[in-house]
Amino acid sequence: MAPEREKIYEIEVKRRRVKTGGGYEPFWKVKDVATALSDNDTEFRCKDCFGEVKLLGKNSKAGAPPYVEHKRPADSEYCSNGMLFKKATDGREAKPSEHPVQ
Ligand SMILES: [Zn+2]
């Protein structure tokens, strides 16, 4: 049996918007991974812990949506949306990544 993989289909992408008074400011927007790819977004992070994520499944067979997983296992262990966190049975509390994407 293949090891279970983390699959997250909703992420945050970095966008820029016009700032009041001129210029641009970055902000994070929740999107599903497939939409982010078709919009050519390049900067992603986990929407729950703000940690780095790795894009996977982009070239998988038709019909299977692309997804991401946490780059750092430590994020998965403490992210409320992390596979390892959900499997933990010690009653731990979720916390943001120690290496958040800014
Ligand atoms: Zn996370």
Q: If you search the block for the tokens 């497939």, which residue do you land on?
A: 34
Report CA(9)–ligand 1 centroid distance (Å). Answer: 12
Report CA(28)–ligand 1 centroid distance (Å). Answer: 14
Dihedral angle over CA of 37, 41, 42, 44, nearest 10: -90
| Predicted structure pTM score | 0.87
Q: If you search the block for the tokens 């933990």, which residue do you land on?
A: 88
Q: Quick one: which H or E segment has residue 67?
A: strand 67-70
Report CA(53)–ligand 1 centroid distance (Å). Answer: 8
Read off the pLDDT of residues 32-44 as tens digits, 9 standing for 90 and up: 999 999 999 999 9
Read off the pLDDT of residues 17-28 as tens digits, 9 standing for 90 and up: 999 999 999 999
Report CA(101)–ligand 1 centroid distance (Å). Answer: 11
Provide DSSP, 9-60.
-EEEEEEEEEPTTSSEEEEEEEEEHHHHHHTT---EE-TTT---EEEE-TTS
Report CA(77)–ligand 1 centroid distance (Å). Answer: 9
